[in-house]
Amino acid sequence: MSLRAERGTVNYAVLDLTLDAEAARDRVVDRVSGVSVRSADDRYEFLTPSGFHLAELSNATLPDGEHGSRLTYRTAMVSPVAASARRKAEAVCAALAPYRYRPGKRPRR
């Protein structure tokens, strides 16, 4: 189920990134085990092996007009079974945190 279908029942947070979506996807794949990636329309979806939706990544224009990407990831899960999925969603976010958009600052790639 996509983020668009679930947004009303699950909490999500947004992280703007200075990496494009493809580079950000590659970083998650290299750094977070147990997460699969599915390409859907103009975005990437991150899922657990059982298909639990963790996050979405898409290209975006940042507030300074530069091109980057936007990660929308789960911050709360509604069932105890989802605890490991929450940790995976946090790991996806942590893998990309060094590339978080900050006005006036751009990290090296």
Q: What is the pLDDT of residues 11-50, one digit of tens each?
A: 888 999 999 999 999 999 999 999 999 998 899 999 988 8
> pLDDT tens digits for 55-102?
999 999 999 999 999 999 887 766 666 777 788 888 899 999 999 998
- Residue ranges per domain, the chain? 3-99
- Contact yes or no for 89/14 (Cβ under 8 A): no
Q: What is the pTM of this model?
A: 0.74
Structural tokens at position 81? 């079974």
Fold assignment, 3-99: TATA-Binding Protein (3.30.310)
CA 78-80-86 angle, to 5 degrees, is 70
The beta-strand segments (E) located in the chain are: 12-17, 36-40, 43-47, 53-61, 67-74
